[in-house]
Amino acid sequence: MTELLGKLYHNGFYATAAILFLTGFYIVLADNHLIKKVIGINVMESAVFLIFVATGYVEGGRAPILTAPPGPGGYINPVPSALILTGIVVSVSVTAFSLALVSRIYQHYGTVDVDELARRRGPEP
């Protein structure tokens, strides 16, 4: 049991990312409210960002600034962090667009409930 807790402690980033991803996935699947679905997708994106940043982390490492000698673990890889900055910008843009679509759906139909929207659409031909 202590070995399992030790592994979980050293891989806490990955365990946290898995919990975040599963929480967001549950929100997307279980809730019929469109805004909550957008929030669930954002939680899932945050979990993916955490995984990518955790892959570049080195225990005891330092930032790759050439004026400072490397730490006992070497240098931390900056590439995942730089890629995640781009991902965050894209994520914010997609979230803004999704919320704008939800707003237009609410203006047109008067609801953001998925089941109600499906009922108003009618049966498939």
CA dihedral 47, 51, 52, 54 (to 10 degrees): 130
Quick check: helix, strand or coil at residue 96? helix
CATH of the domain at 22: 1.10.287.3510
CB environment 17-26: b (16+ within 10 A), e (fewer)? beebbeebee
Q: Look at residue 37 and tell me whether its pLDDT is greater than 90.
A: yes
Distance of CA 29 to the CA centre of its chain: 15
% of the chain exceeding 70 in pLDDT: 86
Tell me how far apart the alpha carbons of residues 63 and 70 are, in angstroms, rounded to a whole number.
Answer: 8
Query: How many folded domains does the chain comprise?
Result: 1
Tell me: the pLDDT tens digits for 46-98?
999 998 888 877 777 777 777 666 667 677 777 888 888 999 999 999 999 99
Print the domain residue range for 90. Answer: 2-121
Rg of the Cα atoms in the chain: 21
